[in-house]
Amino acid sequence: MKRSLALAMLLVLSLAPSARAANEADYKAAYAAAEAASKEAAGMRNQWTVTVSALAAAKKAADSGDFDRAVAAAKEAEALAKASIFQATSEKEAWKAMEIR
């Protein structure tokens, strides 16, 4: 009985997601990726203001030592930057479909 309980507990623990706190290295990697995507969007002249705000929030959270929140904000900024890049590239040719012929 004890053995099956121990095996069941081991199985449950092995299937549970491993939650660990983010550290400064995680933040720096996430921020660098977000900043690169943001610069690419800016180069396409389609940088969203919310991306800049998310990057600022990530930096502010990191400065206060909250790396979990900083990583989350940096990943949000990267997603927003990639969405703005997608918008710029898709609308580059999409306007032709709306043209009256």
For residue range 3-21, list pLDDT tens digits in order: 544 444 444 444 444 467 8
Q: What is the pLDDT of residue 11?
A: 44
Handedness of CA 46, 48, 52, 57 (dihedral sign): negative
Q: Is 74 exposed, middle or buried (0-12, 13-18, 19+ CB in 10 A)?
A: buried
Written as one string, the DSSP assignment of 14-61 is HHS-------HHHHHHHHHHHHHHHHHHHHTT---HHHHHHHHHHHHH
Among 43, 49, 51, CA closest to 89: 43
Q: What is the pLDDT of residue 19?
A: 62
Q: Which residues of the chain are under the pLDDT cut of 70?
A: 1-19, 99-101
Measured CA angle at 94 (ends 38, 96), to 5 deg: 140
Q: What is the pLDDT of residue 95?
A: 76
Q: What is the value of pTM for the model shown?
A: 0.75
